[in-house]
Structure 1
Amino acid sequence: MSTHIQKFAEFAHRSASAQLPDEVVEESKRIILDTVGCALAATDNPAGVAGVEYARVLGGERDEASIIGVPMRTSVHGAAFANAELMNALDFDPVSLPGHVAPYVVPVALALGETHRSSGAMAVNAVAVCHEMSHRLAGAMDRNRDVKDGRAQTAEVLGYASTVFGITATAAMMKEMSSERIADALGIAGATSPVNGHRAWLMHAPSTTIKNSLMPGGVAMTAMTAAWMAELGHRGDPLLLDDAEFGYPRFIGTSRWEPSELTTGLGAQWRFRAGSQFKPYPHCRVPHALFDALIEVVRDNGLAPEEIESITAWGEEWAGQFPTFMADHMDRTFDAQFTFVHGLAIAAHLVPPGRQWHDPAVVESRSVLELKDRIVWKNHPGWAEAVSKDPSARPSRVEVVARGTTFVGERTHARGSTSADPATQLTTEELVTKFRHNAAGVISDHATDAVVEALLHLEEVDDLRPVMDLLRPTD
């Protein structure tokens, strides 16, 4: 009988050249489009710049793969590392269970696809497989938005480390490896998995700039190393996901393990779309519904920041206990991505979402910092009940006191969520608008038009290299 790792390997190998369901293909293309745009927006961000500089260390000027938004080409490993760091630098990229997946897997699929001159369809399928595997692993393990006895409960050990399996499957698919070699790669990936350090990241302020305790470029390297080593003859452990006593569940630290979530219906049921979300704001996903409500209140009532006496925000209960989110000061511009009261202050200034939210002139402006000090965060009393009924729910309420009046805004879901209400979902047209905003000033309008067209029809692209060439500025 096949182990879970062997079933995952068979699924990946079978899916490499399969005709996947239309809705799976469409969502995967949307994820790729949005993630690439986030990289373009981050080329002058310190975290993105650091990723590019390390790519020079990894691969120098080797002519194998493109770094998005940068003229240079480098080794396939260097490009995957740099692009992963760029894609996640602004915290603007798509969200999927267990958390971030896209900025780890998209750079691997594109770097290998460009190097091997693979088809766009192969990249689309590989990204879909990674998201499906990651979603299923998340369903088997602890997660940060759990509820117990009507209250928020966050596990002592949690994180996104399990994404390494899906990313490794993507690398192996792009290298056209056999199912036996993919199984070895997955076993190697599990044995060399990053730790689940998310809880430490939440508890310490100022938080590490290695977001959520996973460096995207580092996870990409772990996955690519696993695929290469399997191809070169190393043997992986196929029992890591079947052995709850000594295997992956034990050494990754999860207290919850439901292996039936891993492979039941695998290939026939594509579950990841239910947890797929897109971010309208370059900020931690948790307060996005509050941003939606606050912006509407401020915009519709013509409120100026200096008129606002106070803002009270009721948000997600689980997040209110963590210093990373509740910090009222920032040591560097990076901290603006996770300091909730600061994000609310920027939203109240109606700053267009994009790289502008990370501009030091905005982050450190006197008006933003003064308004931040007039904002109070509270736990929404209906959060646990709402999330127990609908995991995508983010009940939020904001009260703005100005002009002697209290203005109120409420939301049940953040924009960009997959929910029963189509109004919460970002359309493909909205994602294209976001992409164009992110690409402005980095690549030409002509290149932007061509990239959008190619990525929206990626399954029809025969060779990824010309598409990636368009993502490098030429002047």
Structure 2
Amino acid sequence: MISFSKFAGSLTYDAIPEEVRAILRRSFADTLCVAAVGSTTEISSITKKIADRLWRSSPEAGAARMIFDGRPVSPAGAAFAGAFTVDSIDGHDTTSACKGHAGSAVFPALLAVADSLKASGVVLSGEDFMVALAVAYEISYRAGLTLHGTVPDYHTSGAWTAVGVAAGVSRLLGLSQEQTRHAAGIAEYHGPRSQMMRCIDFPTMLRDGVGWGAPSGVMAAYMAELGFTGAPAITAEGQTAEPWWHDLGQAWRVAEDTSYKPYPVCRWAHPSIDAARDLMRDNGLSSKDITRVRIQTFHYAVRLAGHNPRTLDEMSYSIAFPVATMVVRGKIGPQELLPEVLQDEEIRRISNATELVETEHYTRISVGKRWADVTLYLRDGRKIMSEPRTPKGDLDNPMSAEEFHSKYANFTDGLVGKGRAVDMEAMALSFDDLDSKLLGSLIDLIVAPLDVGHRQ
């Protein structure tokens, strides 16, 4: 079995399967469009102000510009603000096996360090960035599986992405295997072990912990570089972790566990949203035809509830209101995240007429996948029920290239100028082909302020 630190330090571009490269290209573009919408949120505004005030850059580490903002801060500060920005819109890539998300921490953190290295004159190519991303994603996933497999509490993604970020940043900084071991241990020890269901039961701006997981991983690598010790990381080495690491370098969890979101709300709501969408479309219904809705799903999803959300955070971690939004509007995109949607009387009517039912069967089988079914009760006395569903965007029901592009265009429209958006998407989808100059140009596009008010 190869150690995680050797994997992080010795992985080559050619050793990354094309299937994994394709996923990371897709995740890059997908994360960027989510970050564009996220940059309009209060979460993003507050955390960028905090980074600007409290996490200034230094000559030793170099400046990193904040995503869709441009102000220079430290690499940890840019990772902090960037992760909160991406995570403020729940539309980024996900891993059901780890019950969370890697890209929302990994991309902002590695982009921040790459930008700071660029400012310091260090040359990185697209292939270099691909290797660091592959390291960070794969180690994040395996640390997440280990943590979920060995402890009883349900923790946020920040706990395990901190370990992956530390490994990815260690690769970018050229740290030794021993330094990388210590970086992972530091990140694991100091990463946020926050309680996920606290954010589900009481949705606020806390989100999925990546806002602190990302900078924890960045800081850990820089600390290890200067000799700070922290090994071992018990989610990445040792006998207890071995079941989740024995095939590292041979199999790729990134290829097995990465899925995507058509809608910017919690993944647990997606099978119900998909089922409601299809029932409405296939039966030629309008919301006026619906008297009530019944959703059968698994335990955690039932706890989303959210019949009358008052904020974007409450809507993002709800199920009744997003399903009602799909019933009324036939879509859920950035436009459905605007404050006035929360006051839509027809959506609220359907939401309040929605019953959530936990079933033992769905709870039992909703481990690597998420299951639900929906019944619509009609004014004419009929009731129509969907088949059991898992979400669009899983490996067995993937989004098409056209669907990804439509999501990207919808999310960036009005925020990023058309030419810039087109260039950014094209470069992200082929970033590993970019030389150091073009990778720098892509980063310049990503960190420039939003073109607010521009319409396609």
TM-score range with shorter-chain normalisation?
Answer: 0.7 to 0.9
The residue correspondences of 1:370-409 to structure 2 (distance < 5 A) are 370-380=349-359, 382-384=361-363, 386-387=365-366, 391-404=367-380, 405-409=382-386
Aligned: 1:237 with 2:231: yes
Alpha-carbon distance in 1 for matches of 2:233, 2:347: 53
Alpha-carbon distance in 2 for matches of 1:358, 1:40: 14
Aligned: 1:465 with 2:440: yes
The 1:233/1:243 distance shift into structure 2, 3 A limit, reads: closer
- Aligned residue in 2 for 1:147: none
- Aligned residue in 1 for 2:86: 87
Alpha-carbon distance in 1 for matches of 2:196, 2:393: 24
The answer to whether the 8 A contact 1:193-1:222 is kept is yes
Q: How much does 1:393 deviate?
A: 3.5
Alpha-carbon distance in 2 for matches of 1:276, 1:207: 25
TM score, norm. by length of structure 1: 0.84
Cα distance per residue 1:278-337 (max 9 Å; x no partner): 0111111012011011012223333232331001111123433x3xx1243334332001
Aligned: 1:43 with 2:39: yes
The residue correspondences of 1:325-474 to structure 2 (distance < 5 A) are 325-350=304-329, 352-380=331-359, 382-384=361-363, 386-387=365-366, 391-404=367-380, 405-419=382-396, 424-463=397-436, 464-471=439-446, 472-473=448-449
Corresponding letter in the other structure for 1:274: E
- Aligned residue in 2 for 1:29: 25
- Aligned residue in 1 for 2:121: none
The residue correspondences of 1:88-127 to structure 2 (distance < 5 A) are 88-96=87-95, 97-98=97-98, 99-117=100-118, 118-127=124-133
Could you list the runs of 5+ residues in structure 2 that have no partner in the other structure?
119-123, 452-456
The residue correspondences of 1:184-263 to structure 2 (distance < 5 A) are 184-202=182-200, 204=201, 206-212=202-208, 214=209, 216-238=210-232, 240-241=234-235, 258-263=240-245
Could you list the runs of 5+ residues in structure 1 that have no partner in the other structure?
145-153, 245-256
The answer to whether the 8 A contact 1:311-1:376 is kept is yes
- Aligned residue in 1 for 2:454: none
Alpha-carbon distance in 2 for matches of 1:438, 1:105: 20
The 1:26/1:395 distance shift into structure 2, 3 A limit, reads: same
Q: How much does 1:243 deviate?
A: 8.8
Alpha-carbon distance in 2 for matches of 1:243, 1:385: 30
Instruction: Provide the identity percentage.
Output: 23
Corresponding letter in the other structure for 1:298: M
Alpha-carbon distance in 1 for matches of 2:276, 2:163: 39
Alpha-carbon distance in 2 for matches of 1:48, 1:243: 35
SS of 1:309 mapped into structure 2 = strand
SS of 1:349 mapped into structure 2 = helix
Alpha-carbon distance in 1 for matches of 2:155, 2:73: 34
Corresponding letter in the other structure for 1:174: L
The answer to whether the 8 A contact 2:188-2:233 is kept is no
The residue correspondences of 1:278-357 to structure 2 (distance < 5 A) are 278-320=260-302, 322=303, 325-350=304-329, 352-357=331-336
Q: How much does 1:93 deviate?
A: 0.6
The 1:17/1:232 distance shift into structure 2, 3 A limit, reads: farther
Paired residue for 2:135, among 123, 129, 140? 129
The 1:353/1:126 distance shift into structure 2, 3 A limit, reads: farther
Cα distance per residue 1:155-177 (max 9 Å; x no partner): 44544312211111011112122
Alpha-carbon distance in 1 for matches of 2:373, 2:66: 41
The answer to whether the 8 A contact 1:157-1:198 is kept is yes
